[in-house]
Every structure is written in C-alpha cells, then in structure tokens.
Amino acid sequence: MKRTARLSALALLLLAASIAWAGGMTAPSPNGMTIPEGFENWPVISVSHRVDNHTLRVILGNDIAVEAARGGKTDPWPDGAVLAKVVWKERPEEAWPDAIVPDKLVHVEFMHKDAAKYAGNGTGWGWARWLGPELKPYGADVSVENECIDCHVPVEERDWVYTIPARFP
Ligand code: HEC
C-alpha cells in the first residue's frame, strides 16, 4: 500500500514537472504577465540601434499588432495587440568589422494592449520585462511598470509607443 502511494506521488511529481516544462518554465513578471508563447517567430515591425549603450533592438508584434502596424491603424493600437522588444549587446562582425551584429541577449520586454484591463496604470497597456538568456522576471513588485511608463511619457500622444513601423516594400 505504502509503495503504491509513493509511486503515485512520484507519478504526480513527474506530471507536474512535465506541465511546468510545457509551460516554458519561465516565471511570470511581478504583475502576473507571462511571456507570449512563440514570440520569437513574430514578424518584425522595426529595428533600432542604441548608440550610447551599444545595443541592437528588434521590435516584433503579434498578428493583431502587425496588422495594425502595416495598415497604419496605430492611433490607438487595437486591444489584443502585443509588442515585443528584444535587446542584444552589439559586437563587430569578425568577417566584416564595419558591420555590427547581435551578441549576448540583454532582455526581452512586452507591452500588451487592453484598454479596459490595464486602465488602472493610466496607459491601457500591460508592461513586463525578463532579463538575460535565462529570462529572469524584472522588478520586485507591480510598481516596476512605473519605470517603464515614466520613460515612455514623451510618446504618450502616440499611445505610449515609440516605434514607428519601418517601411516595407
Ligand atoms: C530609459 C527609457 C525606457 C525605459 C525605462 C523603458 N523603455 Fe521601453 N522603449 C524605450 C525606447 C526609446 C523605445 C523605442 C525602441 C528603442 O529604441 O529601443 C522603447 C520601446 C519599447 C517597446 C517596443 C514598442 C515601442 O514603444 O516602441 C516595448 C515593448 C517596450 N519599450 C517595453 C518596455 C517595458 C516593459 C519597460 C519596463 C520594464 C520599458 N519599456 C522601459 C525607452 C524605455
């Protein structure tokens, strides 16, 4: 009897572990947001290069965000739009030193548009960041969004979004 109980406890543990694994094993941000599954495969909205801290960035969007971006319907961005920014340290390309290319991953961050759900922080967006290749949630508590929002104030009139979608042919 004891043995069966131990075995089923082990089975439960294994099941829990496999569910955690399937969920990507990344801890949620302090405000409860999680990393959208498959965001690495989202289309590009734009890129940017920060010259002061030597980082390269790519701005990606989910289907709703990309449709809005390509159609010029970003004032405001529609509910359900999610924007991702992925930041890498830069390094020269050894084979072509005039080119700079991505090195170590610095962080990934997301803005989720839901005007009703995120009305409380005054922006209609949910904000979250994960640090480094190990994707450690950034911030001690929910007030971490204030840091994001404060720096996005200059573009409040553009629905808090800096990125102007890059032109494609
Ligand atoms: C120091 C200022 C600053 C802070 C702090 C900041 N951002 Fe931004 N953010 C920017 C700038 C500037 C851009 C434009 C793209 C670029 O050049 O990196 C940007 C772009 C973004 C984008 C792509 C959409 C857009 O607005 O262009 C997302 C997503 C984003 N930030 C999320 C966050 C989150 C989440 C936080 C807080 C954890 C945060 N940001 C904190 C300055 C900041």
Gap between the Cα atoms of 168 and 155, Å rounded: 23
Q: Environment class of residue 100 by beta-carbon count within 10 Å: exposed (0-12), middle (13-18) or buried (19+)?
A: middle
Q: Residue 125 domain-assigned?
A: yes
Mean pLDDT score, 85-111: 98
The CATH code of the domain that includes 59 is: 3.50.70.20
Q: Residue 58 domain-assigned?
A: yes
DSSP-derived secondary structure for 104-143 = EEEEEEEEEE-TTTTGGGTSSEEEEEEETTTTEEP-SSTT
pLDDT for 5 beyond 90 = no
Q: Residue 11 domain-assigned?
A: no
Gap between the Cα atoms of 163 and 39, Å rounded: 18
Please choose, from the candidates 65, 70, 59, 69, the residue with its C-alpha nearest in 3D space to the C-alpha of residue 81: 65
pLDDT of residue 22: 44
- What amino acid is encoded at 42 in this protein? W
pLDDT of residue 4: 56
pLDDT of residue 16: 46
pLDDT of residue 20: 45
Q: Residue 119 domain-assigned?
A: yes
Gap between the Cα atoms of 66 and 13, Å rounded: 40
pLDDT of residue 6: 57
pLDDT digits (tens, 9 = 90+) for 45-89: 999 999 999 999 999 999 999 999 999 999 999 999 999 999 999
Q: Residue 49 domain-assigned?
A: yes
- The two structure tokens encoding residue 159: 């629905």
Query: In this predicted structure, which of 24-28, 31-35, 106-110, 113-117 has the lowest mean pLDDT?
Result: 24-28
Mean pLDDT score, 19-31: 71
Q: Residue 22 domain-assigned?
A: no
The proportion of the chain whose per-residue pLDDT surpasses 70, expressed as a percent, equals 85
pLDDT of residue 13: 46
Residue nearest to atom 20 of ligand 1 (CA): 162
Count structural domains, the chain: 1
Residue nearest to atom 36 of ligand 1 (CA): 148
* Residue among 47, 77, 150, 162 to mutate when testing ligand 1 (max atoms within 8 A of CB): 162
Mean of all residue pLDDT scores within the chain: 90
84 alpha carbon to ligand 1 midpoint, in Å? 9
As for ligand 1, residues whose beta carbon falls within 6 Å of it are 48, 50, 57, 59, 83-85, 109-111, 127-129, 138, 147-148, 151-152, 161-163
Q: Residue 40 domain-assigned?
A: yes
**Structural domain boundaries enclosing 129:** 27-158
Whether the Cβ atoms of residue 121 and residue 149 lie closer than 8 Å to each other:
yes
Q: Residue 165 domain-assigned?
A: no
CB atoms within 10 A of CB 120: 11
Mean pLDDT score, 143-152: 97
